[in-house]
Structure 1
């Protein structure tokens, strides 16, 4: 089984934009809330520059974006 992908902020933003999400507002600290207006679906993306986001957090973001991680392989 392939490893779960390690993504950074820029990768997550690219995936969110491809699926129609737009920056909605800043969250607490270095987090951003992105929303898709068609179905009011939202996700929180931590903005830590080029540092990789923890895999469990990436899994939550991908679930919010309705992406199967195997599609990224």
Structure 2
């Protein structure tokens, strides 16, 4: 049996990055496919380009960004 909390999780790295930039995060470095964004003391790493991030990775980014 699968349980759903009713929230559609964004998993496209391009859309996640756009939202981060729209909310004031700055790209501070790129190491391979990992893009590092910072806003104040908060730092987030987003693997890019990736259309289907693993749900756990997408959830972690969303939680750290304050979206959940």
After TM superposition, the score normalised by the length of structure 2 is 0.79
Unaligned runs of 5+ in 1: 69-73
Task: Please state if 1:35 is matched with 2:7.
Answer: no
Q: Deviation of residue 20 (structure 1)? A: 0.7
Structure 2 equivalent of residue 48 of structure 1: 49
Higher relative contact order (CA 8 A, sep 6+): 1
RMSD between aligned residues = 1.6
Give the 4+ runs in structure 1 shifted more than 6 A. none
Q: Deviation of residue 55 (structure 1)? A: 0.6
Structure 2 equivalent of residue 59 of structure 1: 59
Q: Deviation of residue 7 (structure 1)? A: 1.7
Asked whether the equivalents of residues 9 and 59 of structure 2 are also in contact (C-alpha less than 8 Å), the reply is no
Unaligned runs of 5+ in 2: none
